[in-house]
Amino acid sequence: MHSHLTRLLAVLALIAAPALHAAEITLRVGPVGPIGSCTHATIQAALAAASSSPGDITTILISGNATYTENLDISNKIVRLVGALPCDSIGIPWTVPVLNGAGGARRSILNVNGSPADIRLENLEFRNGDELLDNESYGGALDISAGPHLVVIQNVRFVNNSAGYGGAISVRGPQLPDGSGGPTSSLYLLDNVVVSDNRGAYGGGGLFCHAAFLTVQGTGSTFWQNQAGGAVESGSTPPAGGAYGGGVLGWHCDATLAAGPLPAVFGNIASGPGGGLAMIYGTSRLAVGNLTPTMPTRITGNSTDRFGGGMTLEKAAQATLYDSIVADNSARQGGGAVALYVESDEGRFTATSDFAEQEGRKRCSRTIECNLIANNLAYDGSQAKPGAAIRASRDDDGGDLSVFLRGTRLTGNAGATLFQFVDDITPGLSYVLSEGVLFDHNDLTGMLFDGCHFRSTCHFAAVTIADNLIGATAVLWGSNGTLGSFSLKRSLVHQPGKRVVMGNTLGDVVRYSVVNDLSGINTVTEGGLPVNIVGTPVFADANNGKYYLAGGAGRDFAPYTASDPTRDRGNRNIDIPAVPNTFGIQDAGALETPVAAPVLYDVNPPDGHVGVPYPDYVLQSNGQGGAVVFTATGLPPGLSLDPDTAVLSGTPPLGSEGTYGVTFRITNGLGQYTEVTASLPIHAGETPLFKDGFEGP
């Protein structure tokens, strides 16, 4: 995210640096002459009149309640195209201007090309652009090429446009995003940018990004029901293997995505890999984060005829999901949520709730379930395919594959396996690290995890595997060889009737774990006690995903390991007094069980005053259970309580004076709670200078 800010500043400097006497010019498009007072009858006429002097900014106000059918071009100018009220109209109802097609020409509605340009688009709709000529046609509505350019878009809809690549939008920079050779173009989609019902016949149903930076960061922005694939022009050849990226296709593209409350990528389809998104080649990076703690970014409801219903990462592309959601996607050949593919390079996928927060990358509130891969399908008709959640493969030249899951939940996914490594006998290494992960209620005709073979390193630490439907005789495939290793530690596996591990699991690879079957697991003791046991856990509320241990085996069983996360971001060092510490105070599995209801103490919120910001007040608690949530009822108007940080803040509005009885509650992951009711007076007028009866001399 910071690299995008740096790039934005660099491009702005490149475009604006020569300006010595910058001017701001406003032009108006609409009726001119006797019937109106606009300055130009067409948008292109206004663009031609826009200043090309370095640093000059030309704002073109385009009258609403109208449709414009034009071919538009911008080069080497700083221009703002803004939908506005019709000329000489004040306060009348209006709709945004529609830029409809390109005058019958088979070309993009707006081309930004040539020398560097700085463009803003706002309050517009681009519709029916048609650049679908062949596999070298780009951006049915908007084509950004050469440059480098800076384009910022807000409150704009792109609907029913088509092209070879990028049905609605294409951005192609002159350099690679790693900066080699100089700066490249940057495209920013801010609030309320809707890209829907567009088609890229060769790829990128909604957007195509090549050698550029792409930032989607805003409320109400979405890639919605776009298509990659479909018919091509007569005499043209459809893409072999199908068209990639139903919503977005990136080649050497550095992209960030943080949008809500609408799903950021929803209902897109692709004939090739990547129903929602496809990122290809080594400099492609995708970071998916959240705008706010209560508005997770979602990639949902996408589908593909090939691999990667939610997304595909190919040829060294990498993606990181920060507390985001990939759900309800489908892939007919496998990888219902995510597919990875490499050729003599390294591909990587990460899903985590353990990260440093920054703009566009916020942790979810504990009242919302995030870091979630759920209800994805890998089915071709009635035939289950590998990788209901994740499928990873390589070609004959090999390549390295890495998957990192930290604090993630994988639930409700269906296919042949949940996680599948394919073609593992080819050169290259595979690395899987799964820490604090919950695997539950997946429906599989084969194993849960198939792929830890002789060239793979697969480590499972503090995971819970329970209540999955597994068709195979074993839950996991694990093999220790000269080029790889397998381990399962401080974990809980409860799949009655299923062997836990199958394969060449030599040595001490399963440790401090509670399982339902010890077949194939070496017998190891420590202090005279077996380090793994067969036991039956008692979960608090498994049907609702609460896999805290309410009884049975596994509580206070493993040695405390500070690096082990919990699924709910709770504490690991909770000791249950009534339960013996077998090897330590840590529970086996992905969650740590609270010992009692959490407690609030010294609840005495200060007085507030109308129109004056309330002094931030933090509720004090013992935090029992780690992942606690704070709520309040009866608060004065204008005040709110943060459910994660327990900070009470806000500003009481006029007329809110009075004394309020506020009930504060703290709840842990088991649903145990404590309530305290306190008085909170709100006074009229200004804050007194002195309190407690002392009024000064």
Which tens digit of pLDDT belongs to each residue from 22-48?
A: 789 999 999 886 656 799 999 999 999
Q: Residues 665, 669, 671, 672: is their CA dihedral positive or negative?
A: negative
600-683 is classed CATH 2.60.40.10? yes
Do 329 and 337 meet the contact criterion of CB atoms below 8 Å apart? Answer: yes
Q: What is the pLDDT of residue 35?
A: 58
- pLDDT value at 367 more than 90: no
| Residue pLDDT, tens place only, 237-261 | 888 889 999 999 999 999 999 999 9
- pLDDT value at 693 more than 50: no
Which stretches within 350-425 are classed as H helix?
Answer: none
Q: Which residue is associated with the tokens 């805003």? A: 218
Q: Residues 14, 18, 24, 27: is their CA dihedral positive or negative?
A: negative
Q: Which residue is associated with the tokens 């209560």? A: 294
Q: Which two tokens stand for residue 565?
A: 């996360």
- pLDDT value at 1 more than 50: no
- pLDDT value at 177 more than 80: no
Res. 17 pLDDT band, cuts 50 70 90:
very low
Q: What is the pLDDT of residue 6?
A: 55
Do 470 and 447 meet the contact criterion of CB atoms below 8 Å apart? Answer: yes
Angstrom distance (rounded) from CA 573 to CA 623: 12
Instruction: Report the candidate in 367, 295, 370 with the shortest Cα–Cα distance to residue 632.
Output: 367
Q: What is the mean pLDDT of residues 162-173?
A: 96
β-sheet bridge partners, residue 390:
338, 419
Do 641 and 631 meet the contact criterion of CB atoms below 8 Å apart? Answer: yes
Mean pLDDT score of the chain: 88
H/E element, 136: none
Give the pTM.
Answer: 0.89
Res. 670 pLDDT band, cuts 50 70 90:
confident
| Residue pLDDT, tens place only, 330-357 | 999 999 999 999 887 888 999 999 999 8
Amino acid at 671: G
Q: What is the mean pLDDT of residues 442-471?
A: 90
More confident residue, 34 or 605: 605
CA atoms within 13 A on the CB side of 539: 19
Q: What is the pLDDT of residue 182?
A: 56
| Residue pLDDT, tens place only, 555-597 | 999 999 999 999 988 888 888 888 899 999 999 999 998 777 7
Amino acid at 338: V
- pLDDT value at 436 more than 90: yes
- SS (HEC) of 68-109: ECCCEEECCCEEEEEEECCCCCCCCCCCCCEEECCCCCCCCC
Domain spans in the chain, listed from the N-terminal domain onward = 600-683
Res. 688 pLDDT band, cuts 50 70 90:
very low
- pLDDT value at 479 more than 70: no
Angstrom distance (rounded) from CA 369 to CA 595: 23
Angstrom distance (rounded) from CA 451 to CA 418: 11
Q: What is the mean pLDDT of residues 453-479?
A: 88
Res. 498 pLDDT band, cuts 50 70 90:
very high
Q: What is the pLDDT of residue 166?
A: 97
Q: What is the pLDDT of residue 492?
A: 96
Angstrom distance (rounded) from CA 339 to CA 394: 11
User: Residue 689 CB: number of other CB atoms within 10 A?
Assistant: 8
More confident residue, 483 or 164: 164
Angstrom distance (rounded) from CA 365 to CA 694: 42
Amino acid at 57: I
- pLDDT value at 626 more than 80: no
Q: What is the mean pLDDT of residues 39-65?
A: 93
User: Residue 565 CB: number of other CB atoms within 10 A?
Assistant: 21
Q: Max Cα separation, the chain?
A: 100
Q: In Å, how far from its chain's centre is CA 411? A: 17
Q: Residues 680, 685, 688, 692: is their CA dihedral positive or negative?
A: negative
